Structure 1
Amino acid sequence: MLLFRRHLHSIFTRGWPLGVRRALTVIAACFGLAAVARIWSTRRRALGPAEEPRTSDEEEGVEGSGSPRTPRKDRHDVPCEAASAEVAAANPCGDPAEAPKGPEEVDDEDDHHRELGEEEEEDVVVEYTDALYCEYDSTWETSSGPGSRRLAAPREASRVSERRFCRFKNAARDMYNYRVNYPNKPSLNHNGHDMPNLAFYQGDRPSAPDGVYIGDFHSDEWWGNYDKLESVHTFIQWLFPLQESGVNYEAKELTKEEIKAFLDNQTAKDNLLMSYKLMLDFYGIVLSDPETGEVHRAANWEARFLNLNRNTHNNLRITRILKCLGTLGFSHYQAPLVRFFLEEILVRGNLPNIKESLLNYFLFAVLDKKQRRELLKFAYLHYEPKEEFVWCPKKIQRLWSAEAASSHTLSNQQREMRSQDGNEDAENNP
């Protein structure tokens, strides 16, 4: 500022009376400060409120832990930004007052990709006024569900819970779109009748840009080569293709026609199963039963869990794997893998850096609605503190808490009765 004033003094004051020189200097300095203040105010308004601290998933990079952040569309956690304290209190996820409804569930989706288990579980009516109602979570929809989906009412929750619920809601949009088979996605056509993903899984073409055939991925060149599987990021889109793009722009999205052809091709399905085993081994997991999809820890699980917990870009890979299993004929493998992670994280306390992705993404990739509800119940009963659990409506949480309390009381009564019976037997048979 001193240099600024001297510069003004040299310009405006040469040869002028002392009083005029001083007045001009003061006036010019005031105008300069006002201009700086206006610029700073404009800049602050443009920046908006400060961004929330990023989670481990947001800080991950495409090329692994420590590299630049992934594009927003590929991150698992997107921060909420409210325009004001009043808006944040009434609408913590920053939705506009007249935000459109979520995408409608369709009736003509492919049989292999329809949400399963809808008739095996009694519907629980959840009102949109529920504190944790999410219009993109169809897990608790009644038979009249899609037509009545609407925005959630204003909520009262802690700041921590608001941020967590907002991240869940942003994730729910993506997972809902997947579960209903991308109804608004335009039909894609590769060149002619070319089906690049099916051709890759039949062994007729290599992946791009790596130039690796499916048989080579399943050989010693890749199997057990953990450094290569960790550091190379262009193979996962070929091993587990989806109807959405990834970070490898040379990989091809699945088309509806390609999915149907894949499901009718046993060679492709057998190779997909081998790819699943390859990645399970990388994560320290073994497929116990190919019929049911049950999994258990591998012998080297501790070292592999350490790598998985450290390199959180694998959270995105696991979400992709679960989606692909549901799309290409292995939806019965989804729930066992999610249950495995729930037990490891919520019961045994392992893999803390995967916890948010597990509850926001892995669990909601499960297509079977009944299984999804059971997994959510298991998660709620083992999650602490329960007041921060945001992944199902409060009404459901109250039902589960009451059921757990009743079960605990019944167990105590049964133990007391057995104890009394034992005492009576001891008295009758001294």
Structure 2
Amino acid sequence: MSALSVLYRLVRQVVLLMAWSVYSRLSPLIAWLWGKLGLLWCCITAMVRPVVGHAFAAIGWRKDPGRSRHEPEVSGEDKPAATSCSVEVEGSECEGQYEAVAEERVAGSQREPATELPWCDEGGNELEAGGCRVEPMCEDEDEDEDDEFGSKEYRVETSDELYCCYDSTWETEEEQESTVRSTWRPAASRHYKFSRFENAARDMQNYRHDYPSQIRLQRWNRPLSDDKPNLMFYLGLKPSEPDGIYIHNFHYEWSGQYDTLEYVHTYIQWLFPLQEQGMNSEASPLTKEEIKGFLENSTAKENLLKSYKLMLDFYGIELCDEETGEVRRASNWRDRFNNLNSHTHNNLRITRILKCQGTLGYPHYQAPLVRFFLEETLVHRELPAVKDSVLNYFVFAVLDKRQRRHLIKFAYLNYERKDEFVWCPKKLQRMWSRRLMPEPQKCLSLDSEGGEAKDKTNETATVNHPDPSYILY
């Protein structure tokens, strides 16, 4: 390698580190300005929308720009399944169709009672032969809540104050749509936290729907490599770039090297590849062919598990069950939590890890890791700098919709300022809050005058901060 090439790579790394440093310092200011711009935009649309609406109504303009004005309306019941996706991508389907396929697979299979629960990704792809397992946290309550989530009470209207058009968590199969529905929500639009959640939800929806916009973006990106660099790296046949390190060297030489893992920023794209470009321009995005080869290769999957353990140790966490993905605090958790809390770029790394798990055969590892971070941030009040990322990104990286609903409910019940919770519709929040209220208690007391027993009902009891032991499933 020539000296000029080495100098070029060194200069590029310095520039990338400087750019990242500037971004991390300016990101709070940018986020604040973005929130203000969103508020200004909502005010403008609030004034202009009625005028435009009346004008369109006067000329008979249709709200659906994708359908001809002369094409007859199709009701939701008669609408063909193929029209529910606004973008058709080769090799992918829309979310509602995926879940229908998954439910048919579950209905036609033999399941052991209350011990094995099939997992399905929101893409509906086969994860592993026979499906992946997860042990329910509490079997009876888990089944009851599954029935609860399927009830009509959980139907959410688009007019809900905190309805997010990029979040399909609470949509039923009939309501699944890939098209973005816009509804003016005056209270939510003024909420800074909701604006941040909506921006994050757009990214997570793109991931859960298997990157439907990827084809449109490929024309602007450099052509994807045909030599499957990510798969070759995980099989030990190719080193990472630009560091030149093989996968087994990462596992055995970088283990416990916390400073190296913290300050080197070019390895995470190789250890946890995604179908999107990262900061390391020499790491190629994951391709469909690589994903297929990865899922069929036990060596690659075993190496991915080792990479996961490597990063868990770096964060002060340990994997205590390789079957279910259950995790717990490691012996060095306090020191590692301090590092995690003071270096927030690790939030991006954890989001990448969760996405990679869902893509490369470990979707059943997602919910246990997210549950761990919810408990640490909301119940134990640790990792305050991680809490927003847990709620905006980690939870919505979980592909299994059932598990995602459980996690959001758990988050709401343990969130201290419930009036500031924006990660699910207001309708569900009010319903959960009513169920937290205790039943009126009747007690007998003697009348001070006649000495007769009278019923007195305690109707003023409220629950502001529920006991976590009552909430845990």
- Same fold by TM-score, threshold 0.5 exceeded? yes
Pair 1:99–1:173, CA change in 2 (3 A): farther
8 Å contact from structure 1 (residues 65, 312) kept in 2: no
Q: CA RMSD in A?
A: 3.6
Q: Which residue of 2 aligns with 1:387?
A: 419
What pairs with 1:70-89 in structure 2 (closer than 5 Å)?
79-82=34-37, 87-88=42-43
* % identity of equivalent residues: 55
Q: CA deviation at 1:64?
A: 9.6
Q: CA deviation at 1:125?
A: 1.1
What pairs with 1:197-346 in structure 2 (closer than 5 Å)?
197-219=230-252, 221-346=253-378
8 Å contact from structure 1 (residues 62, 233) kept in 2: no
What pairs with 1:13-412 in structure 2 (closer than 5 Å)?
63=17, 67-69=21-23, 79-82=34-37, 87-88=42-43, 105-106=94-95, 107=97, 113-114=121-122, 121-122=149-150, 124-147=154-177, 150-156=181-187, 159=190, 162-186=191-215, 190-192=224-226, 194-219=227-252, 221-405=253-437, 408-409=438-439
Q: Give per-residue Cα distances to partners, 1:310-368, cap 9 Å, x unaligned.
A: 00000000000000000000000000000000000001110000111110000000000
Pair 1:328–1:84, CA change in 2 (3 A): closer
Amino acid at match of 1:135: C
Q: Secondary structure of 1:237's match?
A: helix
Q: Which moved more, 1:298-307 or 1:136-145?
A: 136-145
Pair 1:404–1:83, CA change in 2 (3 A): closer
Q: Secondary structure of 2:328's match?
A: strand
Quick one: distance in 2 between partners of 1:169 and 1:368? 20
Quick one: distance in 1 between partners of 2:320 and 2:435? 32
8 Å contact from structure 1 (residues 62, 313) kept in 2: no
8 Å contact from structure 2 (residues 38, 195) kept in 1: no
Quick one: distance in 1 between partners of 2:314 and 2:349? 12
Amino acid at match of 2:348: L
TM (normalized to structure 1)?
0.71
Quick one: distance in 1 between partners of 2:18 and 2:390? 19
Larger RCO: 1 or 2 (CA < 8 Å, sep 6+): 1
Q: Secondary structure of 1:296's match?
A: strand
Quick one: distance in 2 between partners of 1:84 and 1:176? 23
Pair 1:130–1:390, CA change in 2 (3 A): same
Amino acid at match of 2:364: H
Q: Which residue of 1 aligns with 2:113?
A: none
List runs of 5+ in structure 2 lacking aligned partners: 1-14, 47-51, 54-62, 67-84, 88-93, 103-119, 125-142, 443-473
Quick one: distance in 2 between partners of 1:100 and 1:197? 40
Q: Give per-residue Cα distances to partners, 1:27-83, cap 9 Å, x unaligned.
A: xxxxxxxxxxxxxxxxxxxxxxxxxxxxxxxxxx9749992116999x996833437
Q: CA deviation at 1:403?
A: 1.9
Quick one: distance in 2 between partners of 1:84 and 1:152? 15
Q: Which moved more, 1:79-88 or 1:225-234?
A: 79-88
Q: CA deviation at 1:183?
A: 1.8
Q: Secondary structure of 2:207's match?
A: helix
Pair 1:64–1:343, CA change in 2 (3 A): farther
